[in-house]
Amino acid sequence: MSIIYDPKDKTITLQTLNTTYQMEITPLNILRHLYYGRRIPAASQAALMPALDIGYTPNPYELRVERDFSRDIQPSEYSAANTGDFRVAALDARDARGRYGDDLRYAGHAITPGKYALEGLPCAGGDEDSCDTLSVTLRDAATGLEVELLYGVYEAEDVITRAARIRNGGEARVTLERAASMTLDMPYGDWQMIHFHGRHAMERQMERADLIHGLQSIGSSRGASSHHHNPFVILCDREAGEECGECLGVMPVYSGSHRTDVEVDQLGGVRVVSGISPELFSWTLEPGETFTAPEALLAFTHEGLGALSRRYHRFIRRHIIKSAWNRRPRPVLINNWEATYFDFDSDKLLEIARRAADMGVELLVLDDGWFGQRCDDNRALGDWTVNADKLRGGLDRLIERVNALGLRFGIWMEPEMVSEDSDLYRAHPDWALTVPGRRPTMGRNQLVLDMGREDVRSYLYDTIAALLSNHHIEYVKWDMNRSMTDIYSRILPPERQGEAGHRYMLGVYELLERLTDAFPEVLWEGCAGGGGRFDAGMLRYFPQIWLSDDTDALERLTIQHGSTYGYPVSTMGAHVSACPNHQTGRTVPLGTRAVVAMSGTFGYELDPARLTDAERAQVRDQIARFKGWYDLLQNGDYYRLTVPGADRCMAWEQVSADRSEALVSLVITHTVPNTRGVRLRLRGLDPEARYRLDALALEGCTAHSRCQLRPGQDIFSGAALMYAGVLLPQLYGDYPSAQLHFTRV
Ligand code: DGJ
């Protein structure tokens, strides 16, 4: 059992292979956090906590005379407002009598094998072999409010999950103003924060910064986890790099408005509170009712950022994604969006499919524009019936002909949205989120359906289920193209309007749960204008998510780099698109575009008719290469070899679990004359083993710089590859690239 209760010291210790997490039930029954870090024996760490009487740090009533314990400086397992801890609170609650705050005291705990489930929310799965659960109940005697803290301990994975259930055990109505998933206090350490900010088509830009005293937060109030701040934060020590240093990740399993607060307190301690954003949020609990706060995934390592990322990658693949496609080779696809936008008909699509099939593509995705009167992005969302002018002969006729070419067929939808100019909106204007008496703020000239409504969800379930039952559709791209504003639900009373945003998310999850259960063979891809909802919550249902609307391979380098800190390559939708690129106007060689997209789910998003014969042959070769290395690329251990902005290149590597195979990919981001070429040092190999370079793909090689590497012949020791490295020739032109494949001999 990975959870140990010590009745003498009153500690509860969570042990994973390499980490230890410990809490203590203090003599006043306040649940105090003691330790989270590198694995140590389960003995109490209470002696690490100072017994201090500091001015203006208040004491619990029982300590009027002996004032050496204050909630304001002690680490807490779950912080609450108005009871002597002035740092950021996880719980802000007030009851109908106006009693604000909660004096939470320990009321009991239970340790059970297996993994808890969360009502209506996605969370990590796991059985008795992979996980144990700790549940600790805290209670406020005055109001009767109870908080059940949940911990899932994944021993082998070095991951601890957190969640909270808040139950009104009193007699008066309670309103929650904030109900975060977790508090984590770290009284020691000199931490920096890494987070992933961005914007549409430029998501997950990694930023690393010192912490300042006071509060710093990242989050979203857009109703989606957002392009702007991904729900993932890393704290790391100042010296931490890819291969060394302590680092700790907090990843909410949530796709709506979220917030992670990081506060440095008066003694230099760091508090992290993470969960649903308190902005525009409140939740009413009648006596007996329970609110469930989403899960967060915690991981700690002393072996650097690379090891932390690999821990999240493995965990997401093993315990978050539930789709059977998680472990299956996924088809190489072609998507018609950047090839045609709204301007297509069956003939054009079939021509794309025919040429794509000839190049080895396996799936055609019909993107936006196939339904209702959808000739541009101003209309028809909600009218999910085929546009017979574009698809003459109907959907089945098209699918049959696509299938006859040897391709599977997939389709785009944006179920959560409605256009004002649509039959659906004309029939049900009240289904959209709008504030009575106010003209709504528009985004892409469309409105958001109130997914908190049962009737909306049934309509969508029936519509999508009919589409999938009646037609041979094997892939669905589920898009969502605006931020949420005017959050007001016509079915909620005034005092519950603060619930509308989270009820929306619960509705989306319920619909996705039903649909993915009913159609488990469909490959579901998530999308929100690219990466606007790329998070662990969505990954429960979607084994892959379109990473960004920016398909420029050069920009993708930083977007993919930032995304790899938390998410595995197999979840990142990535396509080779046409050049000049539609987002940036940049031209990047076709070979380089493929190298970048291969470290994603890999597909094409261009009109093959516009490729030359030589380029078509190149694509054929890229697809063969990708399929040959599929398992290594998608499921291998991922190593970042460079940092954006440094070294004028970006390089990364995938290594098979048994270290018998490695693939290095590199793109030169800024070519300069007269260099030594790039010396690449690999990671993650067996230093004692010998590896043969058995494939070398170079884009941009010229006679000026002779390549001394001899694929098929060169054999290196693992130690030499990692510590001395290999030298690539100087590569020329704009954005040249290389791929090197090594096999243990
Ligand atoms: C946004 C997506 O990210 C694109 O790939 C495309 O599907 C468009 N929406 C279609 O409207």
The predicted-structure confidence for 407-426, as pLDDT tens digits, reads as follows 999 999 999 999 999 999 99
199, 527, 606, best to mutate for ligand 1 pocket (most atoms within 8 Å of CB): 527
Residue nearest to atom 11 of ligand 1 (CA): 368
Rounded distance from Cα 20 to ligand 1 centre (Å): 44
Residue range 179-218, pLDDT digits in tens: 999 999 999 999 999 999 999 999 999 999 999 999 999 9
Is residue 1 predicted with pLDDT exceeding 90? no
Total Cβ atoms within 10 A of residue 55 = 5
Calculate how far, in angstroms, residue 250's C-alpha sits from the geometric centre of ligand 1: 29
Rounded distance from Cα 530 to ligand 1 centre (Å): 7
Query: Which residue, by CA, sits nearest to atom 2 of ligand 1?
Result: 529
Catalytic residue among 513, 615, 631, 647: 615
Atom of ligand 1 nearest to the CA of 335: 5
pLDDT of residue 703: 65
Distance 481 CA to ligand 1 centre (A): 8
Write out the DSSP string of 510-573: HHHHHHHHH-TTSEEEE-BTTBTT-SHHHHTT-SEEE--S---HHHHHHHHHHHHTTS-GGGEE
Annotated catalytic residue 615: yes
CA of 479 to the centre of ligand 1 (A): 7
Q: Are 116 and 154 in contact (CB under 8 A)?
A: no
Q: Which long-range contacts (CB under 8 A, 24 or more apart) does 50-56 make?
A: 54/266
Identify the pLDDT of residue 365.
98
Q: In this model, does residue 516 exceed pLDDT 80? A: yes
- Number of Cβ within 10 Å of residue 61's Cβ equals 9
pLDDT at 705: 78
pLDDT digits (tens, 9 = 90+) for 242-284: 999 999 999 999 999 999 999 999 999 999 999 999 999 999 9
Does the pTM surpass 0.75? The reply is: yes
Per-residue pLDDT at 643: 87
Q: Residue 561: which residues within 8 A CB-CB, separation 6 or more?
A: 206, 640, 644, 650, 652
Element holding 614 (H helix, E strand): helix 613-628
Q: Atom of ligand 1 at shortest distance to CA of 377?
A: 11
Which ligand 1 atom sits nearest the alpha carbon of residue 546?
3
Does residue 646 surpass a pLDDT of 90? no
pLDDT in tens, 428-468: 999 999 999 999 999 999 999 999 999 999 999 999 999 99
**From the CA of 368, how far away is ligand 1's center (Å)?**
7
CA distance 365 to 353: 9
Tell me which of 419, 476, 549 to substitute to probe ligand 1's pocket, judged by most ligand atoms within 8 Å of the beta carbon. Answer: 549
What is residue 56's three-state secondary structure? coil
**CB distance 711 to 693 below 8 Å:** yes
Ligand 1 atom at shortest distance from the alpha carbon of 530: 3
* Residue among 203, 338, 340, 479 whose CB has most ligand 1 atoms within 8 A, to mutate: 479
Strands (E), 9-131: 11-15, 19-25, 31-38, 91-95, 104-113
Cα–Cα distance between 413 and 738 in angstroms, integer?
Answer: 37
CB proximity list for 516: less than 8 A, separation 6 or greater: 322, 323, 522, 524, 541
Residue 64: CA count within 13 A, CB half-sphere: 2
CA of 529 to the centre of ligand 1 (A): 6
Ligand 1 mean position, distance from CA 478 (Å): 9
If you compute the radius of gyration of the chain from its CA atoms, what whole number of angstroms results?
27
Best probe residue, ligand 1, of 546, 547, 583, 601 (max atoms within 8 Å of C-beta)? 546
The 10s digit of each residue's pLDDT in 527-580 is 999 999 999 999 999 999 999 999 999 999 999 999 999 999 999 999 999 999
Query: Residues with beta carbon inside 6 Å of ligand 1?
Result: 337, 367-368, 377, 412, 479, 481, 527, 529-530, 546, 549
Phi/psi at 632 (5° precision) = -65, -45
Q: What pLDDT is stored for residue 417 in this prediction?
A: 98
Q: What is the average pLDDT value for the chain, to the nearest integer?
A: 97
- With 0-12 / 13-18 / 19 or more C-beta atoms within 10 angstroms meaning exposed / middle / buried, residue 737 is buried
Query: Ligand 1 mean position to 564 CA, how many Å?
Result: 22
Closest atom of ligand 1 to 477 CA is 7
Distance of CA 618 to the CA centre of its chain: 33
- Residue of 203, 295, 535, 550 marked catalytic: 535
Whether residue 3 contacts residue 18, with contact meaning beta carbons closer than 8 Å, is answered with: no
Residue 547 CA: distances (Å) to CA of 98, 538, 571, 598: 46, 12, 8, 13
Mean pLDDT for the stretch of residues 147-161: 98
Q: What ranges do the domains of the chain cover?
A: 3-320, 638-744
Percent of the chain scoring above 90 in pLDDT: 96
Lowest-confidence segment of 70-79, 640-649, 721-730 by average pLDDT: 640-649
Number of alpha carbons in the 13 Å side-chain half-sphere of residue 472: 14
Q: What separation, in Å, do the N-terminal and C-terminal C-alpha atoms of the chain show?
A: 40
* Helix spans in 206-260 (H): none
Q: Please give the distance, rounded to the nearest whole angstrom, from the Cα atom of residue 438 to the centre of ligand 1.
A: 29
Architecture of the structural domain at 638-744: Sandwich (2.60)
H helix runs in 104-193, sequence order: none
Question: Which residue has the least CA distance to atom 9 on ligand 1?
Answer: 529
* Conformational region of residue 435, where left means phi above 0, alpha means psi within -120 to 50, and beta covers everything else: beta
Mean pLDDT (whole number) for 141-151: 98
CA distance 646 to 291: 47
Q: In angstroms, what is the span from residue 480 Cα to ligand 1's centroid?
A: 8
- Atom 1 of ligand 1, nearest CA residue: 529
Q: What is the pLDDT of residue 675?
A: 87
Question: Hey, what CATH class is 3-320 in?
Answer: mainly beta
What percentage of the chain has pLDDT greater than the value 70?
100
Q: How much is the pLDDT for 190? A: 95
| pLDDT higher than 90, residue 366 | yes
Of 200, 342, 412, 444, the one to substitute when testing ligand 1's pocket (max ligand atoms within 8 A of C-beta) is 412
Residue having the nearest C-alpha atom to atom 10 of ligand 1: 368
More confident residue, 645 or 399: 399
Q: What span, in angstroms and rounded, lies between the C-alpha atoms of 718 and 691?
A: 6
Can you tell me the distance from the alpha carbon of 475 to that of 543, in angstroms, rounded to the nearest whole number?
Answer: 12
Residue 441 DSSP SS3: coil
Residue 688 annotated among the catalytic residues of the structure: no
Provide the 3-class DSSP secondary structure of residue 350: helix
Inform me whether the pLDDT recorded for 231 exceeds 90. yes
- Cα(401) to centroid(ligand 1), Å: 24
Per the listing, tokens 């101003």 go with 378
Instruction: Out of 338, 481, 483, 559, give the residue to mutate to test ligand 1, the one with the largest number of ligand atoms within 8 Å of its CB.
Output: 481
Separation between Cα atoms, residue 81 and residue 96, nearest integer Å: 16
Ligand 1 atom closest to 527 (CA): 3
